[in-house]
Amino acid sequence: MPSREEVAYFGAGPAPLPTPVLEQGAKAFLNYENTGLGLAEISHRSPTANKILADTRAGLTTLLDIPSNYDILFMHGGGSGEFSAVVFNMVAVWVENRRRRAESELNGDSDKILERVRQEVRRDLRLDYLVTGSWSLKASQEAASLLEPIGKDLVNIALDARKDNGGKFGSIPPEENWKLSPRQRGQGIESAFVYYCDNETVDGVEFPSFPKSLDPGLQDELEKPLVVADMSSNFLSRRVDVSKYAVIFGGAQKNIGITDVTLVIVRKDILSTIPPPSFLHALGIWSPPAILNWAVVAKNNSLYNTMPIFSIWIAGQVMKSLLAFHGDSKLAGQEELSNAKAKIIYDILDANSSTYQVVPHTSVRSRMNICFRVCKGDAAIEKEFLDGAESRMLQGLKGHRSVGGIRISNYNAVSMTNVEKLAEYLKDFAKKH
């Protein structure tokens, strides 16, 4: 039986965790701080649980320099649950803004307000999605499904990266080619939000930086878009200017912790811009279910229902370890380390291009999920590659079932030592092929 030190794991999620965090977690799971109870047993409404929530929020706030006008929520459902939550909550925000505008202009006439907003929903509401990989595609499909009862053309695919890449994901076309909805208020069609996935786990595509066309600092006050980003698979791997986003979310099981908890960073004004459920229902729109309602979750300190306190504690410990390791540099230090690990791997792949073919274009290569084919996708040779890796205790390298090939997931807890072990294998295998 191999020891933990002998195994180098590169799985896409659940992903490896820092060994010290796991060791602390094993103790806490059995007996937390000598209370005689494990963390999975304590009340989620106890002072201990509330302190864990507060400590984890504080760690995330410090790492990301989160401004005071944002709230941090802990939720169920993973990234897929947030596909729905984003639609429910952000459409409600769009409706409430229109309702308030109509209320001020129609002297509070409730019937006229309802009819005007009903017409505006059908005529003007749009949800912009930048589809650059499998997860943003699924998010857009979920949005279309949820909104189908009120309209079939409300989801605007402002970018489908496959159209410029032979029908496959692997590139991000220039921003001037994106077809974003107008954002000038009072000019008809108005985007409720712009949604993108910062790092596509399946396809190995990562946005190199925040899109300039969405940057609120470069636009007129009335044109500032509400940007929603799924950062599930590159969360805490680089610096992020949170102030440019309305919402950031991420499942914990890649860079933050274990499954069962999803982190949502949401601007507080979003939480206070929700119409009465009866008004949404009169428009034929579902109000956000309580379990996905950001305002409800925030009001209840993320304890509207029983939260997995152990999972939140693990996330907090991961954040604590990052702060301890990088000190004042915080995520700048982790970004430098992530870049260095990715460069080692990509340099070897590029130097042996007859053996390895990287899937995404150079400009959008993910630092977190490195996707490539071996000998142009030869099934027998790719199996040989995976078998050889397993024999060296290099595990979790098989590509996603939907695309095949090889995928090296280079998350924060993947050590430089294990990257170097993999690099040696990549070189040795290339010599034979």
What CA–CA distance (Å, rounded) separates 94 from 273? Answer: 8
Q: How many residues does the chain have?
A: 433
The yes-or-no verdict on residue 220 having pLDDT over 80 is no
Read off the amino acid at residue 69.
N
Q: Is residue 290 part of a domain?
A: yes
Q: Do 336 and 305 share a structural domain?
A: no
Q: Do 152 and 85 share a structural domain?
A: yes
CATH code of 87's domain: 3.40.640.10
Q: Is residue 167 part of a domain?
A: yes
What three-state secondary structure class fits 199?
Answer: strand
How much is the average pLDDT of 30-51? 95
Contacts of 127 (CB under 8 A, 6+ apart): 87, 90, 91, 143, 147, 154, 155, 156, 191, 192, 193, 195
Q: Nearest 5 degrees, angle CA 251-CA 256-CA 257?
A: 90
Q: Do 70 and 167 share a structural domain?
A: yes
How much is the average pLDDT of 42-66? 96
Q: Do 214 and 89 share a structural domain?
A: yes
Which range is least confidently modeled, 51-65, 175-189, 196-210, 246-260?
Answer: 175-189
The yes-or-no verdict on residue 121 having pLDDT over 60 is yes
Q: Is residue 289 part of a domain?
A: yes
Q: Is residue 30 part of a domain?
A: no
Q: To 10 degrees, the CA torsion angle through 106, 108, 114, 117?
A: 50
Q: Do 300 and 389 share a structural domain?
A: no
Of the residues 260, 278, 310, which one is the last residue of a structural domain? 310
How much is the average pLDDT of 123-134? 96
Domain containing residue 362: 330-432
Q: Do 302 and 335 share a structural domain?
A: no
Q: Is residue 75 part of a domain?
A: yes
Q: Do 252 and 336 share a structural domain?
A: no
Q: Do 300 and 334 share a structural domain?
A: no
Of the residues 256, 277, 310, which one is the last residue of a structural domain? 310
The yes-or-no verdict on residue 223 having pLDDT over 60 is no
- What is the reported pLDDT for 151? 85
Q: Do 359 and 293 share a structural domain?
A: no
Structure tokens at 369: 């999920």
What three-state secondary structure class fits 76?
Answer: coil
Q: What is the pLDDT of residues 291-308, one digit of tens each?
A: 999 999 999 999 999 999
Q: Is residue 40 part of a domain?
A: no
What CA–CA distance (Å, rounded) separates 331 from 336? Answer: 8
* Structural domain total, the chain: 2
Question: Left (φ > 0), alpha (ψ -120 to 50) or beta: where does 306 sit?
Answer: beta
Q: Is residue 49 part of a domain?
A: no
Q: Is pTM, for the whole model, over 0.85? A: yes
Q: Nearest 5 degrees, angle CA 8-CA 13-CA 18?
A: 50
CATH code of 353's domain: 3.90.1150.10
Q: What is the mean pLDDT of the chain?
A: 95
Q: Is residue 14 part of a domain?
A: no
What CA–CA distance (Å, rounded) separates 369 from 181? Answer: 31
